[in-house]
Amino acid sequence: MDFGTVAATWLGAFFTLCILSFLYKDNPFFRFAESVFAGVSMGYYIGNTFGQTFVPNLVHPLFTPPAGTPREWILVIPLLLGFLLYTRYIKKVAWVSRFSLAIYVGYYTGVNMMQKLQGEVLPQSADTILSFWRAGTFTNVGEWISLLVVVVGVLSVLVYFFFSAEHKGAIGGVSRLGIWFLMVSFGAAFGYTIMGRISILIGRVIFLINQWLGIGNGGVA
């Protein structure tokens, strides 16, 4: 192994242990790692933004177009909008910096609103319109109960979210049921997610044992 790889492994192990030490308590090693982490990650994203966004989407088409293709002058507009963000440092024209924020928010609000209605409300509602009279349903009680649970669950949770009615009487009862469904979901999802988290930890342990201490033929990169 070359020096670069060895050094990277040792540094990686050092940082791994620094972060893990936070579990015991806050300490200078963690604080050091935290600062380096913030700095390095920021530097990484600066490089990444230039490499992945500015160079291909702005610099190449506007400033250095490949031979034979015209300059895309229209990109002056987003460039300008980007610059406008910085007018906030000049008191007199600081209000102009809102322009870029407004367009950005407006555009995505429009996109997201459609996405929520088309991609979430409609299909999720459609999936809830089930038939209790499917062939074989009544012979298979388990299936029938499952259908019932789905429908009751969706509807009661929706009722829980009604804001204009007080949670009293019938609505109170149904929304209480809705809360119970939420609790089943939260408990189950919590218990289930632990598995994924454990495998992340295993990844770190193998890094330390295999790559750093050099024991065994590793697995997880």
Partner 1 sequence: MRKHPFPEVSVAAVLLLLAPGYALAQASEEITWGLRMENFAALILFVVFSGVVMTFIRLARGGRDLYIRRIAGLNAVEEAIGRATELGKKVLYVPGIMSIDEVQTLASLAVLKHVAKHTAQYGTPLEVPNKDPLTYAAARETVKEAYLEAGRPDLFNEEVVNYVTYDQFAYTAAVSGKMVREKPAANFLVGSFYAESLLLAEAGQSTGAIQIAGTAEVAQLPFFVTTCDYTLIGEELYAASAYLSREPVMLGSIKGQDIVKFILLCWIVLGILIFTFIGNTAMRDWLLPH
Partner 2 sequence: MDMMERLMNLDRRWLYLLVGLAAVIPILAPLNLPVNVSRPVQDLFDRVESLEPGEIIMVSFDYGPSTGPENDPMGDAIILHALARDLRVVVIALYPLGGVTEAREELERCVGDLDPPNGQIASERFPDKVYGRDFIYFGYKDGGLAAMRLMSDNMHEVFPADFYGTPLDEYELGREVQGYDNVAFVMSLATGIIGEWWANLVNAQFGTPVAVGCTAVSAPKYFAYYRAGQMFALLAGLKGAAEYEFLVSQKYPQLAQITDSFIYNAGKGWDVQSVVYSIITLFIIIGNVAFIVERRRQKRGM
Partner 3 sequence: MYKKQFPLLLAFLGGAIPIISFFITTPGDRLKVTTDTLQDWMLIIAGAALLLGVVNLFQINLRKISTRAKGWPNALWLLLSLVIAATFGLADAFGTSVFGIWGGDVAFQWIQDAAFKPLQATMFSLLAFYVASAAFRAFRVRNVEAGILLAAALIIMLGVNPYAVKVLPFLPDATNWIMNIPNAAAQRGIIIGAALGAASFSLRILLGIERSYLGLQKGE
d(Cα 138, Cα 147) in Å, to the nearest integer?
Answer: 11
Does 174 participate in binding partner 3 (rule CB under 8 A)? no
Radius of gyration of the chain (CA): 28
Pick the binder of partner 1 from 6, 11, 77, 90 (CB under 8 A): 77
d(Cα 155, Cα 159) in Å, to the nearest integer?
Answer: 6
Does 175 participate in binding partner 3 (rule CB under 8 A)? no
- Give the burial string for 12-49 (b: 16+ CB within 10 Å, else e): ebebbebeeeeeeeeeebbeebeeeeeeeeeeeeeeee
Return the residues of window 20-59 that contact partner 2 according to CB under 8 A. Answer: 20, 23-24
From partner 2, partner 1, partner 3, none, interface partner of 174 (C-beta below 5 to 8 A by class): none
Return the residues of window 170-209 that contact partner 2 according to CB under 8 A. Answer: 192-196, 198-203, 205-206, 209
Q: Write down the least CB distance from residue 102 to partner 2, Å.
A: 33
x/- map, 199-218, partner 1, by CB under 8 A:
--------------------
Using CB under 8 A, which of the segments 5-13, 50-58, 59-67, 165-173 binds partner 1?
165-173
d(Cα 91, Cα 69) in Å, to the nearest integer?
Answer: 41
* Residues 157, 125 contacting (CB under 8 angstroms): no
Rule CB under 8 A: which residues touch partner 2? 20, 23-24, 192-196, 198-203, 205-206, 209-210, 215-221
